[in-house]
Amino acid sequence: MTHQHATDAHHHAPGHDDAAVLPAQEYWEGFYGERDQVWSGRANALMVREVEGMTPGTALDLGCAEGGDAVWLAQQGWQVTAVDVSDTALRRAAVHADDAGVAASIEWQQHDLGETFPSGTYDLVSAAFFHSPPEAVLDRTTVLRRAADAVAPGGTLLIVGHASGPSWMGPHPMFDLLPTTARLLDDLALDPQVWTVDLEDLVTTDHTGPEGQTGTRADNVLRVRRTA
């Protein structure tokens, strides 16, 4: 489930600012319930770029959606714990893993990560496009801090996210809230005795919208390693 959407439903057109803010589970169940498949099923290219050189170990995939990244990680030899708030997404992800023959390497867990978090520590914790529209509750900073706490010594926290909206949509306050990697690092407040910043990157790629709109979109990558 790369971020190449089967549809681009998660980026509603601007103008939803006055909509009610729903609990994460209610919002995302509704979101997945509206269509049979949301994401492409492929792994996110930027996650693949960062992880393919690593030695496989244990991985935690936060906001795994329909399982594209988790399945790819399992295919590379990682033992994956994959989490989403939506049971519908998790059911689809499990079918995808079965079809790919990697079901035994993935444990699916349902959590509202603002409320509960998987136990244990992991060699890789990945949050790929762990975004929410304004209509759904998400304290992303708190979740990402807990994600850092879940990294085992020697392990990596990888955060891949949008840095801007798609160029064809023009400016919108929703996109102004997307953090830079510098802002993410400020929010995470990682202890420099314990963490090394391996990579901060800003990548602009061609992006196609649900109605065939063409343009670009900027994404950023933050990769930090727990050294102790």
Ligand X SMILES: C[S@@+](CC[C@H](N)C(=O)[O-])C[C@H]1O[C@@H](n2cnc3c(N)ncnc32)[C@H](O)[C@@H]1O
Site residues, ligand X (CB under 6 A): 1, 3, 10, 24, 28, 39, 44, 63-65, 69, 83-86, 89, 111-114, 128-132, 138
Short-list 216, 182, 64, CA closest to 129? 64
Residue 109's beta-bridge partner residues?
Answer: 83
191 to 98, 121, 150, 171: CA distances (angstroms) = 40, 17, 14, 35
Kindly state the smallest distance separating residue 194's Cβ from ligand X, in Å.
Answer: 26
Kindly state the smallest distance separating residue 153's Cβ from ligand X, in Å.
Answer: 25
DSSP state of 5: B
Are 220 and 180 in contact, with CB atoms under 8 Å apart?
Answer: yes
In terms of CB distance, is 102 or 136 closer to ligand X?
136
In terms of CB distance, is 128 or 147 closer to ligand X?
128
Which residue of the chain is nearest ligand X when measured via CB? 63
Are 213 and 143 in contact, with CB atoms under 8 Å apart?
Answer: no
Kindly state the smallest distance separating residue 115's Cβ from ligand X, in Å.
Answer: 8
In terms of CB distance, is 74 or 83 closer to ligand X?
83
Kindly state the smallest distance separating residue 45's Cβ from ligand X, in Å.
Answer: 10
DSSP state of 104: G
In terms of CB distance, is 44 or 76 closer to ligand X?
44
Residue 128's beta-bridge partner residues?
Answer: 160
In terms of CB distance, is 10 or 172 closer to ligand X?
10
Kindly state the smallest distance separating residue 29's Cβ from ligand X, in Å.
Answer: 8
Q: Which residues contact 215 (CB under 8 A, 6 or more apart)?
A: 166, 167, 168, 206, 207, 209
